Chain A
């Protein structure tokens, strides 16, 4: 697998996607790049690449039970109801159990434990993967959770397996992570060779960043680049963050209200000012160095 750079933050809205798309833009001039949007709840990288050409899409499905009434011994047996780990099956008088789809996690325990072969396999669509081409050097793999589904870890896992499968065609893989510090992040960070932690100088962001740093250690520790976004709003706290969070490099992006406007309509920061083009060129250089790519 080619080097994988995970862009994470812990707290939501610190600027992960902004960093991911602008870094991708800076890198793809010289390298073949796969940009992966693993924030399946609200994948936003595509809002910056609206002209990307769709290449393929895939459904991500899981098992769900379908109960055959003529085989089900519902009067005498409630094994599936009792053994469902999510309590998604509800016993009913004079009828086979009812499925509460919202709770079904697709594990198929009900089918395994049924003694009468009364449960067959149906499918629930928990998400999609979309693959598209921005240009010859930049491809985009976007994961999307089906609204209402709780199976975000399954979607993230499938997304990363697909990214690994595709990665040989690229020099680098960049992954835009969801907010948080839970299993979704673990499923991504285990593949990462470098981590970019995007934060802002607020107590909230620092608290979440500490949890994320612990997770990074659990995932084996990685060369880390700390990106302090909205730099300058709280100088003392900023110093504290830089000293408390272990990172090999620190890159700062100054607080600038124009960034909000630029990002809000899906535009890249290099078009805002050459200052930002320089910042992302520098970040790209560090990434290339850590990934041991030829310059």
Chain B
């Protein structure tokens, strides 16, 4: 059986995904997988990277370029581009590399074979040992880059390979903020989704949008509520989202302050640690 993929996501940023993912990976002795490729931070909660096992460059991104000598300015390319990446001035036809999605529509449309695609670096997939002893696979997207979804797939494939080699049966995947391309790609193929919410209207909206974005996937879903200040909030969020509750973590200033150095979630205050352990134990039961 292939290792199971459990994704931690939230819709809104900063609700505590990375905290929950790190705690679960440590407690369940899983492989930690950071699919927040634009802002990969999971390593900081696993006592940072201490030894690199492998680093692989991913080149999945393509951009189109025009050979000005072959171009006859017929503008077929600009007509077919769906992303508004091609424009013309009085001298020549330009392709905007920021807008170009590398689909190749212009290449196929050009009657003079004046357009070609070149490949650019999407980012890195890094496999490492962390100071916590847990193995980590993370993606690091090129700054300003496209192709976050492709990089997420490469990260997950590498994590699956590592899990088979090391005979680990569980991957804990930390997803990006939001519900866009990297998040959908993190969740595609997973069996379980843990939604981390905080008692704010912004987080509730994000969680609802996340559930809407993922309803077509065949997933078991559960809820962790973070930053709780009173009991009333728990009921409200549970009723609004209608998911089984794995646990509740109180609002506590000791949580952001442990992030000043590389600390594990189990170094927060005692009352927080007690709650995190409970979340992990319930998650363990839920996953069986």
Contact = CB atoms under 8 A, between A and B. Distances in A.
A96 interface: no
A264 B202 contact: yes
Nearest to B83: A154
A150 B39 contact: no
A186 B144 contact: yes
A117 interface: no
B221 to A, nearest CB: 15
Given A148-B212, A204-B18, A85 B180 contact: no
B212 A147 contact: yes
A236 B257 CA distance: 11
A254 to B, nearest CB: 12
A150 B82 contact: no
B146 A153 contact: yes
A14 B41 CA distance: 14
Given A12-B39, A41-B180, A107-B82, A207 B44 contact: yes
A181 B104 contact: no
Contacts of A185: 144
A233 B104 contact: no
B232 interface: no
A113 B144 CA distance: 31
B213 A63 contact: no
A85 B259 contact: no
A84 to B, nearest CB: 9
Contact of A204 (B44, B82, B229): B44
Contacts of B245: none
Interface in B75-125: 80, 82-84, 98-99, 101-105, 108-109
B136 to A, nearest CB: 14
B143 A183 contact: no
Interface in A174-224: 178-187, 190, 200-205, 207-208, 211, 214-215, 218-219
Given A47-B202, A147-B213, A264-B199, A62 B82 contact: yes
Interface string B199-214: 1111001100110111
A62 B105 CA distance: 14
B70 interface: no
Nearest to A204: B41
B105 A12 contact: no
B148 interface: yes
A263 B209 CA distance: 19
A10 B257 CA distance: 19
Interface string B253-267: 100110111100000
B156 interface: no
A13 B14 contact: yes
A263 B198 CA distance: 12
**Size band of the A side of the interface?**
35 or more
Given A180-B176, A214-B143, A260 B262 contact: no
B131 interface: no
Most buried by A among B14, B15, B44, B214: B14
A15 to B, nearest CB: 8
Contacts of B185: 150
A39 B83 CA distance: 19
B247 interface: no
Interface in B26-43: 37-41
A40 interface: yes
Given A11-B41, A105-B103, A234-B260, A264 B201 contact: yes
Nearest to B98: A186
B260 A236 contact: yes
Contacts of A150: 149, 180-181, 184-185
B202 A187 contact: no
B145 A233 contact: no
Interface of B: 11-15, 18, 37-41, 44, 62, 80, 82-84, 98-99, 101-105, 108-109, 141, 143-146, 148-149, 176-181, 183-185, 188, 198-202, 205-206, 209-210, 212-214, 216, 227, 229, 251, 253, 256-257, 259-262
Interface of A: 10-14, 17, 39-42, 44, 47, 62-63, 83, 85-86, 102, 105-109, 112-113, 145, 147-148, 150-154, 157, 161, 178-187, 190, 200-205, 207-208, 211, 214-215, 218-219, 230, 233-234, 236-237, 255, 257, 260-261, 263-266
Chain A to chain B: the 8 pairs with minimum beta-carbon distance, closest first: A13-B14, A12-B13, A41-B178, A12-B177, A107-B103, A202-B259, A152-B180, A234-B260
